[in-house]
Amino acid sequence: MADHKSAEPSPESVARANRQRLAAEEGARAMADIEQKAIAVRKNMERLRALREAKEAEQAGTHVAPPVVAKKKRAKTLSE
């Protein structure tokens, strides 16, 4: 009839609270690591984009585009 909670937590609840604390810390570290990797990827993409644009600008200045040749149209045939 009297189910009073004791002032001392049970060993199971202490273990569960410890596991939850460790999981929260691990999750925070993982999220920080993921964010750092994402920042590194964005910086690398920006660097590669700048290199590509510089290369394209250099090629555009020295390279003359070939003239566009219009395709010949085929004569339509009537099928009966």
Q: Which candidate, 37, 14, 33, 35, places its Cα nearest to that of 25?
A: 33
pLDDT at residue 65 greater than cutoff 80: no
pLDDT digits (tens, 9 = 90+) for 8-56: 889 999 999 999 999 999 999 999 999 999 999 999 999 999 999 999 9
Note if the pTM is more than 0.85.
no
Q: Which residues contact 9 (CB under 8 A, 6 or more apart)?
A: 17
Residue 54 is predicted with a pLDDT of 95
Residue 47 is predicted with a pLDDT of 97
Q: In angstroms, rounded to a whole number, what is the distance separating the alpha carbons of residues 59 and 49? A: 15
Token pair, residue 67, equals 């003239």
Rounded to the nearest angstrom, the gap between the alpha carbon of residue 43 and the centroid of all alpha carbons in its chain is 12
